[in-house]
Amino acid sequence: MGAIEAATALDPVSLFRAWLAEAEAEEPNDPNAVALATATPDGVPSVRMVLLKGLDERGFAFYTNAESRKGAELAANPRAAMCFHWKSLRRQVRVEGTVTELPPAEANAYFHSRSRGSQLGAAVSRQSRVLESREVLEEMVKRYATQVEGEIPRPDQWKGYVLRPERIEFWLNGADRLHDRFLFVRDRNVWAKSRLFP
């Protein structure tokens, strides 16, 4: 069971993959949804959901608009935190680290893997700015769709980011509030593990 795996796991990334695979089997919607917290350089936090779109030796990848609130905060302060919560599994994973941009070629590849409709939407959206009305947005999409016949070019501000984890904490629901918590802290490429009080 999960408790035993988490208790004996030595590599948090492998453990995360195992939990995500279980979530993919159990969660009705968006098992890869994650709350992403960013902050201004003077420490004013903000949080919103994004979709995890990759995980490799570099870290946890997501895509967004660099001119959005989160994009502006990350440009000024690359420290960020993520929190996954899989309700049907009663599990949580928290990740903390520093965010960098993915190479443009990767953003291009992912952008063009999406439907023309979502490429159009992403291309016209001025994410997080004030929008006068829904009609204005729909009109912008319609107009752009007629201007671009072939492939929609990825807008420069639509970027991929990767959070390189320094801390990863796993939380499993236990009876009588005796939850299990396992914290992994990275020192260079070695993960140290400890159990935390619930």
Ligand X SMILES: Cc1cc2nc3c(=O)[nH]c(=O)nc-3n(C[C@H](O)[C@H](O)[C@H](O)COP(=O)(O)O)c2cc1C
Our finding on whether 24 is near ligand X (CB under 6 A) is: no
Judged by CB under 6 A, the number of residues near ligand X is 16
- Beta strands (DSSP E) in 72-157 are 79-86, 91-101
Segment interacting with ligand X, rule: CB under 6 A, options 46-54, 81-89, 92-100, 110-118: 46-54
- Pick the binder of ligand X from 49, 76, 109, 148 (CB under 6 A): 49
Let me know: does 171 contact 181? Beta carbons within 8 Å: yes
Phi, psi of 166 (to 5 degrees): -110, -30
List binders of ligand X among 108-167 (CB under 6 A): 127-128
Cα 60 to chain centroid distance, Å, stands at 7
- Pick the binder of ligand X from 15, 50, 95, 168 (CB under 6 A): 50
CB atoms within 10 A of CB 118: 12
d(CA 64, CA 189): 28
Take residue 20 and report the two structure tokens written for it. Answer: 């995500």
Q: Is the Cβ of residue 62 or residue 111 nearer to ligand X in the bound state?
A: 62
- Pick the binder of ligand X from 46, 88, 118, 194 (CB under 6 A): 46
- Pick the binder of ligand X from 37, 39, 54, 69 (CB under 6 A): 69
